[in-house]
Every structure is written in structure tokens, then in C-alpha cells.
């Protein structure tokens, strides 16, 4: 049993966060809310999304798994205006998710979740942490796209730094401690990442909202931020690219 009402923006946020990594996702429904964990086909990135039932206008659920085609869900949500309330209901008899927007009813076929593995969030030791404003970070990433397909992130006691290098051009974004919301790096740490993946991971956060970055050396990166007016949380993990000479 699962029935909920929620602002269309919240569902759009779920789609924005998960669809860069996967086309289909397993929604883990519990009494306390919805969680999604998914790994991209190349096994380079993982998303872990938690949405508390407090994000919903109404929420009643028994534990279950729903396999959802994100393209389909995105298509329906394009019909909702900002502020529209969307009603979700699982129909057990037909194994359909019933999505209602106003007088419109879409009965959506579900995907068998048997083929969707349960991923575990790996235990990572990432000693350095910075909290950065989303638009600062986004500008650095977009600038990097013009010169390379990978970028290096580093932290030390003084600053967070982003660096990308092409054949003739370089991009550098250095944010000293006083321009960061938080910085805590016991030493110097540096890892390299695919710009494509990293760009998708920060895209859901807008304006001056905080993005938390955990970093090690030649280790994965962990990116955290809140969604749904702090009633939800997203964690991304991204494997490093190892520099070859």
C-alpha cells in the first residue's frame, strides 16, 4: 500500500538527481519515506537519495519496491505547473503506479525490480571536506569543459581548488577559506574526475545553495546536498580518474 500527495517540484528534483545516472530506478518505499540508490551502467558513479515523508503533503505507505522508468515519469511531470500537487498511488491489482495531476490520470506500467541490484554505499575514508556555493562551483566546471574532459580537485588548509588543463589552455578556480562556507583539510588532498560526471552531480543544486565535498587523494569524491527544503538529502559518489603519464 502506497499513496502520497506532493508538490510537482519534489518529483522533478528526484528525476533531476537520478536521471543523469540511470534510465530506470528502484524506488524503495518505506513508512518513513522514499529512498533510491543507483549505480550508472559504467559503474563510475553512485547516487543515494533519501526523501523523508515530511517532504510530502500526504504520505501513507507499507514497505515495497517500485521499478520506475524515469523518462516516463519525467514526461508526465512536464504537464504539471510549479505548485501543482501530484498524487501518487500504487495499484496492486494491475501493478501500476497511478499518477494524478488535477483531473488527469496516468496509469504507469512498472519495471520488474528483480534485475535491479541492491548497491551498498562503500565505506570511504575521505579526510578533507569543503562546503562550496553551487554557482561558484558550477562556473568552474563549465569553464573546465572548454579545455579538457577531466578536472582535478584539491584541498589544503588554505583553499579549495579546481584545475583543468588542455593542450594550450588551463582553467583554475581557487576559493580561499574565507570564500567557502566551510573548509576542513588536515593536509593536502587531490583527486581527478571526469568533468561530464561531476558536472551532472552539481547541476541539481542552484544559486548560492551549499554543496558539501569530501575528498581524498586518488580516491572517489563524495558530494552531498539537501533537496525538498531540507526534507531530503542526496549523496553522490564518483570514482577518480587516475593520471597516466
For a second copy, the binding residues (CB under 8 A) are 72, 75-76, 78-79, 96, 101-109, 136, 139-140, 142-143, 146-147, 167-175, 179
CB of 219 to a second copy, least distance (A): 25
The C-alpha atoms of residue 13 and residue 34 are separated, in whole angstroms, by 13
The C-alpha atoms of residue 206 and residue 159 are separated, in whole angstroms, by 22
CB 159 within 8 A of CB 175: yes
C-beta of 30 vs 170, nearer to a second copy? 170
CB of 135 to a second copy, least distance (A): 10
C-beta of 117 vs 166, nearer to a second copy? 166
CB of 50 to a second copy, least distance (A): 28
C-beta of 62 vs 158, nearer to a second copy? 158
The C-alpha atoms of residue 31 and residue 204 are separated, in whole angstroms, by 26
Burial of 130: CB neighbours in 10 Å, binned 0-12, 13-18, 19+: buried
Among the listed residues 199, 202, 195, the one whose alpha carbon sits nearest the alpha carbon of residue 224: 202
CB of 124 to a second copy, least distance (A): 28
C-beta of 62 vs 208, nearer to a second copy? 208
CB 227 within 8 A of CB 13: yes
C-beta of 102 vs 117, nearer to a second copy? 102
Q: Is 233 helix (H, G, I), strand (E, B) or coil?
A: strand
132 CB neighbour count, 10 Å cutoff = 25
C-beta of 142 vs 206, nearer to a second copy? 142
The C-alpha atoms of residue 150 and residue 147 are separated, in whole angstroms, by 9
The C-alpha atoms of residue 36 and residue 20 are separated, in whole angstroms, by 14
CB of 24 to a second copy, least distance (A): 13
CB of 10 to a second copy, least distance (A): 20
Amino acid at each position: 500500500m502506497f499513496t502520497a500527495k506532493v508538490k510537482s517540484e519534489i518529483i522533478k528534483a528526484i528525476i533531476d538527481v537520478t536521471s543523469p545516472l540511470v534510465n530506470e530506478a528502484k524506488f524503495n518505499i518505506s513508512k518513513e519515506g522514499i529512498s533510491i540508490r543507483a549505480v550508472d551502467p559504467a559503474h563510475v558513479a553512485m547516487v543515494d537519495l533519501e526523501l523523508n515523508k515530511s517532504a510530502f503533503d500526504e504520505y501513507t505507505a507499507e514497505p515495497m519496491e517500485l521499478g520506475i522508468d524515469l523518462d516516463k515519469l519525467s514526461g508526465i511531470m512536464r504537464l504539471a505547473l510549479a505548485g501543482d500537487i501530484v498524487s501518487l498511488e500504487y495499484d496492486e491489482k494491475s501493478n501500476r503506479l497511478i499518477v494524478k495531476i488535477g483531473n488527469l490520470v496516468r496509469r504507469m506500467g512498472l519495471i520488474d525490480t528483480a534485475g535491479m541490484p541492491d548497491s551498498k554505499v562503500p565505506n570511504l575514508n575521505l579526510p578533507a571536506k569543503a562546503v562550496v556555493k553551487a554557482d561558484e562551483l558550477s562556473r568552474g566546471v563549465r569553464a573546465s569543459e572548454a579545455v579538457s574532459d577531466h578536472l582535478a580537485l584539491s584541498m589544503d588548509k588554505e583553499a579549495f581548488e579546481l584545475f583543468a588543463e588542455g593542450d594550450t589552455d588551463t582553467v583554475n578556480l581557487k576559493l580561499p577559506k574565507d570564500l567557502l562556507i566551510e573548509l576542513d583539510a588536515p593536509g593536502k588532498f587531490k583527486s581527478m574526475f571526469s568533468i561530464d560526471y561531476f558536472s551532472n552531480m552539481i547541476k541539481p543544486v542552484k544559486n548560492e545553495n551549499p554543496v558539501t565535498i569530501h575528498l581524498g587523494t586518488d580516491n572517489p569524491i563524495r558530494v552531498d546536498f539537501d533537496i525538498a527544503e531540507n526534507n531530503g538529502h542526496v549523496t553522490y559518489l564518483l570514482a577518480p580518474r587516475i593520471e597516466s603519464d
